[in-house]
Amino acid sequence: MLHQGERAIRRRAGLTIDGGPGVGATIPPVAAEFLGRQRLVVIAAADENGAAWAGVLTGPPGFTTAPDDRTVVIDRLPEAGDPLAGRFDTEQDIGMLMIEPAGRKRMRVNGRARSRGNRLVVHTEQVYSNCPKYIQTRAHAADLPSTRRSAVVTGDLTTGQQRWIAAADTFFIGTYAAGHGADASHRGGNPGFVTVTGPRRLTWPDYAGNAMYMTLGNLQLQPRCGLLFLDWEHGHTLHVTGRARIDWDPGRAGAVPGAQRLIDFDVEQVVQIAGGIPQRWSFGQYSRFNPA
């Protein structure tokens, strides 16, 4: 069932309002098998002040399971310093993205989550898969002893963080809309597809995708969103929260290869965690769908 933000985006994009994607609430057996293989889960939620954040939970295959067709259990919780640490002590909306970079496969699960001991238990409300577009292949290379350090929190992007983002070929975005839940999604392109115009402003293109418009639909209702950039080789994580604006100007989008529209993002807070994840991933190939 499309919410009003998704319907508005589909209408603006020239699509039928009633032709939304098929999204179920239950976890099919093939999906349960897929999530059980994963080593990395991106999560999205709002904090107590309403700021949206994207985070990441990692573990060996099997750390995420589906004990029944409406439940996902993750044997991890956000750690100290993570923007979402402690957030699931009470039940909250959550968006999750399980991604398998080596096979360019991804699955999204949205629902309600609460911590139980050292586990995160999610009651599913939306379960669906996405196409492989814009996913760069990466292979899991190692799990190293934790070198996690204290989080460094700033109000804007340092010069080093700006370089990190400008060189990125992948990031993850977390959105939410009151009454409609949270969502975590993937964005990819060739290095430089995210434009850094200053310590508090980013812009990226919205490429042709699944035409689900769940991310943009949420942004239509609630501009607050969170971005996650991973340093795949060294395990560092960069979390950025702020507000996004959809620019439908065809002239501006036409100057960016492959862009259907542009997203402008104003930075409000930045959290960098050195050694945020113990995993290391080696780069493989860029997606053939990435605009040149």
Give which of 8, 5, 67 is closest to 36, Cα–Cα. Answer: 67
The answer to whether 172 and 54 are in contact (CB under 8 A) is yes
pLDDT in tens, the chain (292 residues): 789 999 999 999 988 766 555 689 999 999 999 999 999 999 999 999 999 999 999 999 999 999 999 999 999 999 999 999 999 999 999 999 999 999 999 999 999 999 999 999 999 999 999 999 999 999 999 999 888 888 999 999 999 999 999 999 999 999 999 999 999 999 999 999 999 999 999 999 999 987 789 999 999 999 999 999 999 999 999 999 999 999 999 999 999 999 999 999 999 999 999 999 999 999 999 999 999 8
**Domain positions in the chain:** 4-283
Residue 126 gets the label, from left (phi > 0), alpha (psi -120 to 50) or beta, of beta
Beta bridge partner(s), residue 41: 57, 98
Check: CATH 2.60.40.1760 for 4-283?
no
CA–CA distance from 232 to each of 168, 171, 192, 282 (Å)? 10, 11, 17, 7
C-alpha to C-alpha distance for 87 and 231, rounded to whole angstroms: 24
Contacts of 214 (CB under 8 A, 6+ apart): 6, 175, 183, 185
The answer to whether 95 and 110 are in contact (CB under 8 A) is yes
C-alpha to C-alpha distance for 53 and 58, rounded to whole angstroms: 17
Rg of the chain in Å (alpha carbons): 18
Model-wide pTM > 0.95: yes
For tokens 């702020």, name the residue. 242
